[in-house]
């Protein structure tokens, strides 16, 4: 049984043509020209504050409804376990109902000229975060794995590391896709007091050495991959995307030497980058940026030196199927009793946990 992939952050909007909806905002921002004439106005999102310092953003201008936030954690002490895409939409619709706003809907299938994917008349996704938990069963192996990730760019988006070493990220600032792997315990420690995270949950995460891999699918990615519309989005597709991306980031399955899909002369530039040639110094500035722009389409950023150091580490996933089904009968994921009794007692006996992938770090001699 695979450990579940879930969604936490979900941003979307829907335009309700011809309808007069309640206006929901937190004021307006406008710009004046030198004559005092209003050039433009925009409505500020209303910030919805839930329990445990959880926040969401919502606005409606009378015809379009926009929402954004980690709806999976709203009114919850923690989001150690999350929800499916459909469940997150349902949670948003429940919130919209509180403001007398219509629910998000898929609408009708339609063909939009100039686009390669079919469209829908309903809600539009602008950001979806998919995530998955991994366990190492001790913090030393988690730290070792994080250190390995921090030096392992593999020709992908630029790698970054937080000051405390607790987060490794790829593609920060990208309008297309952003990924990170972080130490869940350190994240809880940083926000624990503000979010009122129960101590038993933090102890649980610390003891298991929990790491989380999170992929932020932004508007451009969603559009190009047929996930722009709610009607075209389902959890099976998001799970498959996660599996493909995680293979590249976490398992080093991207072939380093396979540049056959890259056309010349960009292929030669990619090989020079792989071989450590200082391209910014050896190429004309205009050529460098033109090649960089083209090679980014293949996941290569020649502005960042290629890390070809062979690291003495590999890891594998281990999914133990025994006794997991007993826990997966939809437990109350917010129940303190479920954490302290059901899970911890099972870990004592079996060292397995539903909702996580058990990852063993193997250090080569």
Over the stretch 241-268, which tens digit does the pLDDT of each residue have? 999 888 756 654 333 445 676 888 888 9
Q: What is the pLDDT of residues 61-99, one digit of tens each?
A: 999 999 999 998 888 877 788 899 999 999 999 999 999
CB 331 within 8 A of CB 80: no
What is the reported pLDDT for 88?
96
Q: pTM above the 0.75 mark?
A: no
The owner of tokens 């409804």 is 65
Banded pLDDT at 274 (limits 50, 70, 90):
confident
When comparing pLDDT for 160 and 286, which is higher? Answer: 286
Sign of the C-alpha dihedral, residues 339, 340, 346, 352? Answer: positive
- Dist. CA 266–CA 285, nearest whole Å: 15
What value does the mean pLDDT take over residues 90-113?
92
Does residue 140 register a pLDDT over 70? yes
Does residue 157 register a pLDDT over 70? no
Task: State the DSSP string of 339-352.
Answer: IIIIIHHHHHHH--
Q: Are strands 55-60 and 28-32 parallel, antiparallel or unpaired?
A: unpaired
Token representation of residue 20: 């007069």
When comparing pLDDT for 74 and 340, which is higher? Answer: 74
- Dist. CA 9–CA 179, nearest whole Å: 13
Does residue 228 register a pLDDT over 90? yes
- Dist. CA 62–CA 132, nearest whole Å: 37
Sign of the C-alpha dihedral, residues 236, 131, 323, 87? Answer: negative
What value does the mean pLDDT take over residues 302-325?
46
CB 235 within 8 A of CB 86: yes
Q: How far is CA 196 from CA 9, 200, 332, 364, in A?
A: 20, 12, 19, 41
CB 259 within 8 A of CB 275: no
Within its chain, how far is the Cα of 152 from the centroid? 19
- Dist. CA 119–CA 113, nearest whole Å: 10
């Amino acid at each position: 049984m695979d450990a579940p992939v879930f969604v936490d952050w979900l941003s979307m909007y829907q335009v309700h043509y011809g309808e007069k909806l309640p206006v929901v905002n937190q004021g307006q921002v406008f710009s004046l020209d030198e004559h005092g004439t209003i050039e433009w106005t925009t409505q500020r999102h209303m910030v919805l504050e839930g329990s445990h310092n959880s926040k969401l953003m919502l606005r409606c201008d009378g015809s379009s409804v926009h929402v954004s936030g980690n709806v999976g954690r709203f009114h919850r002490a923690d989001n150690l376990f999350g929800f499916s895409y459909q469940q997150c939409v349902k949670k948003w619709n429940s919130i919209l109902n509180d403001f007398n706003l219509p629910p998000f809907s898929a609408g009708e299938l339609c063909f939009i000229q100039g686009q390669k994917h079919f469209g829908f008349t309903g809600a539009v996704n602008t950001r979806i975060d998919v995530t998955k938990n991994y366990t190492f069963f001790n913090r030393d192996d988690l730290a070792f794995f994080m250190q390995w990730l921090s030096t392992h760019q593999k020709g992908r988006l630029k790698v970054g590391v937080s000051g405390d070493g607790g987060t490794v990220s790829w593609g920060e600032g990208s309008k297309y896709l952003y990924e990170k792997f972080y130490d869940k315990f350190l994240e809880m420690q940083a926000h624990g007091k503000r979010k009122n995270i129960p101590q038993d949950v933090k102890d649980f995460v610390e003891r298991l050495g929990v790491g989380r891999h999170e992929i932020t699918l932004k508007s451009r990615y969603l559009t190009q991959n047929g996930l722009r519309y709610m009607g075209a989005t389902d959890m099976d597709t998001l799970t498959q995307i996660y599996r493909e991306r995680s293979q590249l980031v976490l398992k080093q399955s991207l072939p380093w030497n396979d540049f056959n899909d890259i056309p010349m002369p960009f292929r030669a530039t990619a090989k020079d980058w792989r071989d450590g040639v200082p391209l910014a110094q050896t190429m004309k500035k205009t050529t460098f940026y033109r090649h960089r722009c083209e090679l980014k389409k293949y996941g290569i950023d020649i502005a960042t030196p290629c890390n070809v150091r062979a690291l003495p580490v590999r890891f594998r996933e281990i999914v133990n199927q025994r006794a997991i089904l007993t826990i997966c009968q939809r437990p109350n994921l917010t129940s303190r009793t479920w954490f302290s009794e059901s899970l911890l007692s099972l870990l004592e006996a079996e060292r397995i946990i539903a909702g996580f992938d058990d990852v063993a770090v193997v250090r080569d001699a």
